[in-house]
Every structure is written in structure tokens, then in C-alpha cells.
Amino acid sequence: MPPTHLVVLAAGKGTRMRSMRPKVLHTAAGLPLIEHVLRAGDALNPSTTVVVVGYQAVEVQEALGKRLGLRFASQEPQLGTGHALLQAEPLLSGKRGTLVLLSGDVPLLRPQTLVELVRRHADARAALSVLTAEVDRPDGYGRIVRNQGSIAAIVEHKDATDDERRIGEINSGIYAFDLAPLFDGLRQIGSGNAQGEFYLPDLVRIYRSRGMTVETVLLRDPREILGVNSRKELVEVAMVLKSTKNDELMAAGVTIADPATAFIGPDVVVGADTVIQPGVYLEGRTRIGSGCQIHSGVRIVNSVIGNGVVINNFCVITDSSVDNGARIGPFAHIRPQCEVGVDAHVGNFVELKKTRIGRGSKANHLSYLGDATIGERVNVGAGTITCNYDGTAKHPTVIEDGAFIGSDTQLVAPVRVGRGAYVAAGSSITEDVPPEALAISRGRQVNKEGWVSKKKSRA
Ligand code: UD1
Ligand code: CA
């Protein structure tokens, strides 16, 4: 097979989005539209990948900065799709093989479809192959005009006659080209049309007039080439991505109580026998083990959850890990860089930040634990606060195995509570507590007998 090269068009503004951001950076299922497109393109194992940028080029380039081996061509001003592809020429000069063109705003395309397009293109030895679809509402799309069965031209909706507008077969905007004649062909395209643009699809007419082979590949599921031009279409596409992911997970043994309200990103992994209640968001690179219960209103981002974990309602967990058998929430906030150990409990209204909680330890009620290292079998009483911030810097708190922290304790960091030590309720701990010691730091209680009746008799 000759090498494959990929070009993705992403220079347009996306006027109908009515947005400050370029269209291809709007997200569906947690990923920018163009990232979905590039992932589909990965299936072709392209030897060159070029993204044509224009409107807010810097933002688009920065958003794709983590992808290795991408090259960028700039199109300024944006004079149409034919003009856009021509901008990639310097990055492809001297190369041969097949060029596959994708639009940055068509995120549902399946990798298998592209593989099939390239295979059919090669089999036909075509100069150009167009991916087409039969749709019920072809409005807005370019129509495939045939002559005795063969494709003769693509006519844009705005340029089409009434007869042509009745054609249900549309241009997906996805093509495979033989590189050799491509750029000379593109230079023949004019802009004498309804939009005054250089239309890439005009290449079909030009090639046909030269007797070159132009193929079409008809898509089975036309939803795959749904393009995003408006907010409404963005949501439609996101809904398709969502239900595809939910269906996959359910087939793999996950119960999703209400798939309409479960938003699970494409890279999320969930083990069998985990039950996901309504209104749950699982995002980024989150991995959830098996046999977990994830209750309503939970949001988990880039986190690793073990097996048999219960996450009660309305918890937010970000960039953290929760080990097997732990119980979280309801209403817990686990901020980045936390590790909750095996069988540990983090209860209601507990906030953790950069904190490690060891096996079997409990912080069940109303606590803030930040920059803390908490050992095993520790009991953190209700209302315990690590005072980790002195207004300038953050300081660590260490609580060793088996320690007992009484309710309403303030641990003024840096501070250490030794193994097995007790801290009496209501203490402000400013100095280290030795192992096995009792620390108590609070005003001694005074009871004034008969105080109330004396006060009343004075009045
Ligand atoms: C295009 C096709 C149409 C097809 C439809 C499928 C043309 C003229 N028409 O129409 O036949 O049915 O896609 O979705 O190609 N872009 C640039 N530079 C430009 C213009 C566009 O990079 O100067 C990019 C856009 O950012 C977008 C893509 O090309 O990613 C398609 O452009 P768009 O304006 O959305 O074309 P459509 O009108 O949808
Ligand atoms: Ca479009």
C-alpha cells in the first residue's frame, strides 16, 4: 500500500456557533471536536498529518500541542475548502500516495469507515474518491450529481437548482485523493459561485472533464458524517457519542440506571457489576473498578477508583485515587492529588486536598484535610481542620497509624501526631504530639452554680 497522508480542515470560524472560540475546539463527550476527528484518522496510520488553521490559529495549535507529529498549515484569509487544501501543499511536496481529507467539525466518523474508503480508493485506482451518504434532509449539503450512474459533479446547496436539491445523496466532505495530480487540479478551481469561494468539490467536475476516475463510497450509517455547524448540532453529536459509550459499557456488564443522564467520556474505563445511578459524570482518564456503586450527582475527573467502592450522592473527585472498599460521601470533595486507602471512609462535608488517608481510616464528618498524610486506622473526629496555610505557604500535617483526633480539633501545620496518640476534642494543636500521648489544649471548663437565677434577680 502507498503511504497515507491526512489533512484536516480547521480554518473556518464556525459563524453559526455564535462563539468566541473556534468551532473545532468546542467539546463533545469531553474532547474537542477536532480531537475526535484526529483519533479516527489515527486508524490510517498516516505518515503525515496536517491541520489547516486560520481563524484563531494559535488557540487551535495550542489545544493540539500535546499531539506529536502534527504539522500546521495556515490559511489566511479563508477563501473556501479548495483554497484551504492548497495551503497544505508545501508540507506534502515530494510525497506520493493517498491523501485523506477530513473536516475538523465531523466528529462521529468511525475509523473503520476511513480504512474502507482508502481500500476502495486503492482498488479502483481512482484519482479521487468521495465518501457520500443518503440522507432524509439534505439541506445545506453538497449534492452528488450523477450521469448514467457515475458521479459527474458535486453541487453546493446554495448553487443547486430545484431538481438538484431533490437529490438525497450528499457529499460528506471526506475524500481520498491520489496526491500526484491533486495540487495542479486544485489550482484549476474558480470562485464563480453563490458564495464566491474556491469549492473543493469542484475538483470532481474538473477531473471528470479530463476523463479521470472519480469514485464514490456510500456510507451505511449517515449519522457518522453529521457535521457540527450550530450549538444544536453540537449537542446532537454529543448525544450520539454518549449513547455509544453507554451502550458499550452496558454490554460489558455495567448497569447504567438512566443512560440519558450518564455522561461518561470516551476514555473512561468501568468494571463489570458497577452500578451507575442517574446524573453521574465520569470524565477524562477516569478508571472505575468492578462492583462499585456510583450514586446520583457524582462527578469524577481523571481519577482511579478501585473495586467495591461506594461513592454516595453529590461527590466531586478530581485527579485522585480511591482504593478498594472505600466509602465516600455524600457531599465529599476530593481535590487533586489525594489517595484514599483500602476500606477508608470519607464522609459527608469532608474536603480533602493533596492528602493521603491510610487503610481503614475514617474522616466521617465536616472536615478539611489539606497537605496531610494520615496513617492506617486513624479516626478523624467531626469538624477537624488542618490549618495548612499561614497566609504565605502551605505546611504538612502528619497523623500516624492508630491515632485518635477528637472532634473540632485544629491541627496547626506543620505538625505531627504520633502513632496511637489521642487528641482531646476541641484542641488547637500547635506542637507535635508524641506517640501514645494525650494532647489537650483548650480552656478548662468552669461551672458557676446558680448563675442564672442570680442574674435574673439583679435585673
Ligand atoms: C462542505 C462541502 C459540502 C459538504 C459539506 C459536508 C464545500 C464547498 N462544501 O460544506 O459539499 O456537503 O462540507 O459537511 O467544501 N474550511 C477551511 N477554510 C475555508 C472554508 C472551510 O478550513 O476557507 C473548513 C471549515 O473549518 C470546516 C470545513 O472546512 O472544518 C468545511 O467547511 P464548511 O464551511 O463547514 O463547509 P460546508 O458548508 O459544511
Ligand atoms: Ca460543515
CA of 81 to the centre of ligand 1 (A): 6
pLDDT of res. 1: 77
What is the chain's mean pLDDT, rounded? 97
pLDDT digits (tens, 9 = 90+) for 429-457: 999 999 999 999 999 999 999 999 999 99
pLDDT digits (tens, 9 = 90+) for 160-177: 999 999 999 999 999 999
pLDDT digits (tens, 9 = 90+) for 283-292: 999 999 999 9
pLDDT of res. 2: 87
The ligand minimizing its distance to the Cα of 10 is 1
Atom of ligand 1 nearest to the CA of 156: 11
Residue nearest to atom 13 of ligand 1 (CA): 173
Ligand 1 pocket, Cβ-based, cut-off 6 angstroms: 9-12, 52, 54, 75, 78-81, 83-84, 103-105, 141-142, 154, 156, 170-173, 199-201, 227
Atom of ligand 1 nearest to the CA of 171: 12
pLDDT of res. 135: 95
> What's CA 104's distance to the chain center, in Å?
16
- Is it the case that residue 214 has pLDDT exceeding 90? yes
CA of 228 to the centre of ligand 2 (A): 6
pLDDT digits (tens, 9 = 90+) for 59-86: 999 999 889 899 999 999 999 999 999 9
pLDDT of res. 13: 86
- pLDDT above 70 covers a percentage of the chain that reads 100
The ligand minimizing its distance to the Cα of 219 is 1
Residue nearest to atom 37 of ligand 1 (CA): 141
pLDDT of res. 94: 93
Residue nearest to atom 2 of ligand 1 (CA): 173
If you average pLDDT over residues 255-260, what whole number do you get?
Answer: 98
pLDDT of res. 274: 99
pLDDT digits (tens, 9 = 90+) for 81-137: 999 999 999 999 999 999 999 999 999 999 999 999 999 999 999 999 999 999 999
Let me know if 365 is a catalytic residue: yes
If you average pLDDT over residues 204-226, what whole number do you get?
Answer: 96
Residue nearest to atom 11 of ligand 1 (CA): 142
